[in-house]
Chain A
Amino acid sequence: MSLDAYPLVSDWLTPEQDRLLIHTGKVDIGQRISTALVRIVQEELALPPGQLGIAPVRTGHAPDEGITSGSNSIEQSGRAVAAAAATLRARVLDIAVAQQGGEPANWVLEDGFVHRTGTNIRISLIDLAGDLPPNLPIDPDLPRHSPAQSPKPDMRGITEMVTGTFTFLHDLDLPGMWHARRISPPHAKATLQEIDGSAIDKAEAKGIQVIRDGSFLAVAGPREWDVVKAARSLGIACTWDLGGGFPETDVFAHLAPENADRFPVVDGTPQKAPVPDALDAPDLSARFERPYQMHGALAPSAALAEWTGTELDIKSHSQGIYPLREAIADSLELSTDKVEITHVPGSGCYGHNGADDAAFEAALIAIALPNTPILLKWSREDEHAWEPFAPAMAVQVDAKMTDGCVTAFSAEAHSDTHRGRPRPGPNRAGPAKLLANRFRADAMAPYIAPPNMGKHAGMHRNLDPIYAFPEKRLVKNLVQNLPHRTSAMRCLGAVTNVFAIECTMDDLASQTGMDPIAFRQAHLTDPRASAVLRELERRLDNRGPRPDGTGRGIAYAQYKNAMTRVGIAVDVTVTDAADVRLDHAIIVADSGRVIDPDGLTAQLEGGFIQAASWALCEEVTWDRDGITSRDWDSYPVIRFDNVPDIEVVLLDTFDNPSVGAGEASPGPTVAAIANAIQDCTGLRMRRMPFTADALKQAALAL
C-alpha cells in the first residue's frame, strides 16, 4: 500500500550532505520502527550508522502512511524502504560499472563505499546516490540482499535515553514559549456554568491567561509551576452543571445481543447477513470479560502549538499526523495546508491515547495567544480520566465435542467501538472524535462509530479460532451508547478473544483428559503453529515439572491469524492472600525473517508485561461523580516486584516475510496466566483483572 502511493526511490531515501536520509510516515512509539528501518537499509547498502538518518516525520514531507498501528509498520514502511534500498543498490552498481568498468559481480558495497574488488577503486555510495535521477522508480521485484554478517544491534536513541539527553515532546523549550494546563470538567456530562471572576483576576494579576471556549477551559503562562497552581485554583472557582450525573450503567449487563448491531463473521470478516442460530446443546458454555482499561502512558499527553495568525505549527506524539491534521483543520475551518504537524516522541502509549486531543487543545490555546509557542501538558488526572479507554468487552463461547475433538465452536464478541481515532469520515467524523469539540461553545455530539467491517479489525480481531473446527459460528455484537469514550489499544479485540478461546481450549482439553498442548496440536493444521508448540513443549520439558503449590498455563495464538505466531507458558504461585505471583514465562515466536532480534524480543517481552498488568491489575472505575480511577493508586498497574524471569525464543524462519510482532504476545499472555491460575487453584477466572479480591470471590462462589 505504501509503495503504490509512493513509488519512487526518492520518496523513501534521499542523500543529504554526507548522509542518506530515510523517509517514513511511521513513528517511533517505543516499538523501535526507526531502528528496524535503519537496519534494513544497513543490510542492503552497508552504510555505517553515522551515515544514516531518519527525516522528521512531518505532514507535507513524510510519506502519508496513515496511522502507526496494527503492527503494520514493518510490512508497510519496512517493505517500501527495503525495496527502495534494493533499487538504489542495483542502480548505484550500474553507475559504478558504467564509470569504472567491470561486471556488477566485481563490485561490493562496504562501509559506505562501492568498491571494485582486487583494485583500490572506492567511490562514496552517498555521492553515487546523488547522481541517480530524482524520479527513479522502485523496482519492487528485486531480491533482498543478505549480508554475510548482520549489523550489530544498535537501538537508536538508547545512549541519549540513559544519559537523560533524549528530547521528548515534554522537554521542548522554545524561546518565548508558554506552558498550558487544562481545567477539566468533573465528568463528560458536565458543562461549565460560571467561573468566580475574582479567581480569574487573581490569575491574570500573576501573568496567567485564562482561555475559555464554552466548557473548554485552560490556563497559560510563562512559568510551568505557576500555571499548574493557577489551574488548581481556577478548578475550585468553577461551577459546573452536572447534567444529572455520570451514568452508572452496569456495562457487563449491557454487553448483550439484545443491545447490539449483530454481524456474522466469516473468515475474519463481518457480513451484513442474518446471524446463524446458536449451537444446540453445547458441551461447554462460558463468558469471558474485560473491563474498560486505559493506555496509561507514563507521560501524560502533551503537545506544542504556535499560531502565526494564518498558520498553525504543531508538534505532537500522535500516531497519525495526517488524519489528525485534517481533523484539526476541519475543526478550525482552516485549509489543511495551513496546518503542519511534526511528530516528536512522547512516551510509549500502544494505542490512541490523549495525544490527538492534546494537539487540538494546544492549537485552541495557541490561537487565543498568537505568536506564542504553547506547550500544553495534561496532568496525570487528566490522562487517567479523559484519554479514550479500551472498551469493555465480553465474549460468549460455546463448544460441542465428539470423541475428544471439537465439532462445533461458537464465539460471540460484544463491545463498543475500538475505533475512536480522529480519522476523516462522513458527518465530520474527524472533528467529532476530538475531545475538546464536545465542550466548545459550538459543541459537537459524541461520535457514534459505524461498525468496522474490516478483516480481523476491531472487536472481531482473532475472534476466528486458528484451529480446524468443522463448524464455526462467529458473531460481532457492536454495543453503543455506553458511558465512556473508547478507542484503539494494543491488539484491539484480540486480547479478550484469545483469552476466551484459549481458556476454553484448556477446559475442553481437561474434559477429554488430554494434555493442553497435545489437545491444541490435535486441532492445528498449520505446520508453523505446530512447530511453535513443539518448541514450547521442549523448553518446558527442559524446565521440568512445575514445583508443588504452583500452577502452569499455556496458550497459543497467531495475531490476526496472519502475523506472528506465539506460544506462551507461565508458571505462577498464588499466595495465601490470593495474590497471583508470576514466577517464570516462556515465549516462543515465529515472525518470519527476523530483522532486529533484540527489538523483536523487546516487543514480545513488553507485550507480555503489559498484558500481565491488564490480567492482574487494571480496571477503570467510576461512579455518578465521574471517573474514580484517577491516579496510579486507584488504577494500579504491574510493578517490578511481580516481573517474572522471561525466556524468549525466536524461531527465525528466514524464507518467510517479516511480520509485525508488537501485538502478538498480549492475548496469549492473558490466557496463559488465567490457565495457570486454574491449574494452581482450580478457579476458572473469567473476568479480568484477576485480583486477590476477585480470586477470593471466585473461591467463595465454588
Chain B
Amino acid sequence: MTLSLTINGTRHDIASDPDTPLVYVLRDELKLKGTKLGCGLEQCGACAVMVDGKVVLSCVSPVEVFDGQEITTIEGIADTEIGQRVQQAFIEETAAQCGYCTSGLVVAATALLSDTPAPDSAATKEALTPHLCRCGSHPRVLRAIERACAS
C-alpha cells in the first residue's frame, strides 16, 4: 500500500515503510532537510512541523498516521503571510546562534500567531516550552515573536 502526504501544498506518494517516523520521510525520502532531528523522543522540538495548523513533533509518530493530512514544514512556512512575518522578525532580531533549533521555533511561532494573533509573553513562553535551545537564543526568539506581532 502506498501512502500519500500533502506537504507544503504538494501531494507526494511515499515509498517508505509505513512505520517510518515522519521526520525520516521528510529528510531522507523527500530531501526536505529543514526539519531537524534532535532527540527522536519528542523532547526537544527540533523536528516540529505543522499538521492542519497545529504544531506536531515528527520524530516518533509513523508516517502512516499523517495519511491524507496537510503538513507544512519549514520549507513551506513562507507560503502564509504570518509565516513570512515570523521569518522576517527572526532575521531582524538575529534570533539564532547555531540555528539548529531555529526551524522548529519558526514553525511553532507561526502556528502560535496563526491561532493567537497577539499572545502575551506568558502564552508565548508556554507555547515554546516544548522547544529546547542550547545556545540561549531564547531572549531573541521572544523579541522576534513580539516584533512579528507588532508588524
A residues sitting closer than 8 Å to B (CB atoms) are 28-32, 153, 155, 157-168, 170-171, 173, 223-225, 228, 296-300, 345-348, 350, 377, 379-380, 598, 602, 605-610, 631-633, 637, 639-641, 643, 645-646
Contact = CB atoms under 8 A, between A and B. Distances in A.
Residue among A345, A607, A609, A633 with the highest chain B CB neighbour number at 10 A: A609
Interface string B94-116: 11111111110010000000000
Interface of B: 16-17, 20-21, 24, 27-28, 31-41, 43-44, 46, 73-75, 77-78, 87, 90-91, 94-103, 106, 124-126, 128-129, 131-142
B121 to A, nearest CB: 9
Nearest to B99: A161
22 contacts: A28-B98, A163-B34, A164-B35, A164-B106, A170-B37, A224-B27, A225-B28, A298-B46, A298-B132, A298-B133, A299-B38, A380-B38, A598-B94, A602-B94, A606-B135, A609-B136, A632-B39, A632-B132, A640-B125, A640-B142, A643-B139, A645-B139
A296 B98 CA distance: 14
Contacts, number: 168
Given A161-B96, A298-B38, 5 more contacts: A153-B94, A223-B28, A297-B100, A298-B101, A299-B46
A637 B134 contact: yes
A158 B132 contact: no
A696 B7 CA distance: 49
B138 A640 contact: yes
Contacts of B98: 28-30, 298, 345-348
Nearest to A155: B94
A164 B33 contact: yes
A645 B131 CA distance: 18
Contact of B91 (A159, A607, A640): A159
A620 to B, nearest CB: 15
A238 B34 CA distance: 35
B94 A163 contact: no
Given A164-B74, A607-B136, A643-B139, A380 B39 contact: yes
Contacts of B97: 30-32, 348, 602, 606
Contacts of B75: 163-165
A460 to B, nearest CB: 26
Nearest to A639: B129
Contacts of A28: 98
A379 B138 contact: no
A641 B129 contact: yes
Nearest to A317: B98
Nearest to A172: B33
A306 to B, nearest CB: 19
A482 to B, nearest CB: 25
B17 A162 contact: no
Contacts of A162: 87, 90-91, 95-96, 102-103, 106
A450 B66 CA distance: 55
B116 to A, nearest CB: 16
A350 B20 CA distance: 33
Contacts of B102: 161-162
Residue among A32, A300, A380, A633 with the highest chain B CB neighbour number at 10 A: A380
Contacts of A345: 98
Given A30-B98, A161-B102, A224-B28, A632 B41 contact: yes
B32 to A, nearest CB: 8
A610 B126 CA distance: 19
Contacts of A171: 27, 33
Nearest to B102: A161
A633 B132 CA distance: 12
B134 A379 contact: no
3 pairs of A and B residues whose beta carbons are closest in the complex: A164-B34, A609-B136, A606-B136
Contacts of A165: 34, 75
A164 B73 contact: yes
Nearest to B124: A640
Nearest to A297: B134
Residue among B21, B98, B139, B142 with the highest chain A CB neighbour number at 10 A: B98
A433 B76 CA distance: 44
A350 B35 CA distance: 23
Contact of B125 (A32, A157, A602, A641): A641
Given A159-B91, A641-B125, A631 B136 contact: no
A637 B132 contact: yes
Contacts of B126: 640-641
B100 A348 contact: yes
Nearest to B28: A224
Contacts of A228: 24, 40
A607 B97 CA distance: 12
A224 to B, nearest CB: 5
A28 B135 CA distance: 13
A473 to B, nearest CB: 35
A224 B36 contact: no
A518 B8 CA distance: 59
A161 B105 CA distance: 11
B46 A164 contact: no
A345 B97 CA distance: 12
A337 to B, nearest CB: 31
Contacts of B20: 225
A168 B96 CA distance: 14
Contacts of A645: 139
A382 to B, nearest CB: 11
Contacts of B24: 224-225, 228
A379 B33 contact: no
B36 A640 contact: no
Given A173-B33, A225-B21, A639 B40 contact: no
A157 B99 contact: yes
B101 to A, nearest CB: 6
A605 B78 contact: no
B42 to A, nearest CB: 10
A153 B73 CA distance: 28
Nearest to A666: B136
Contacts of A347: 98-101, 134-135
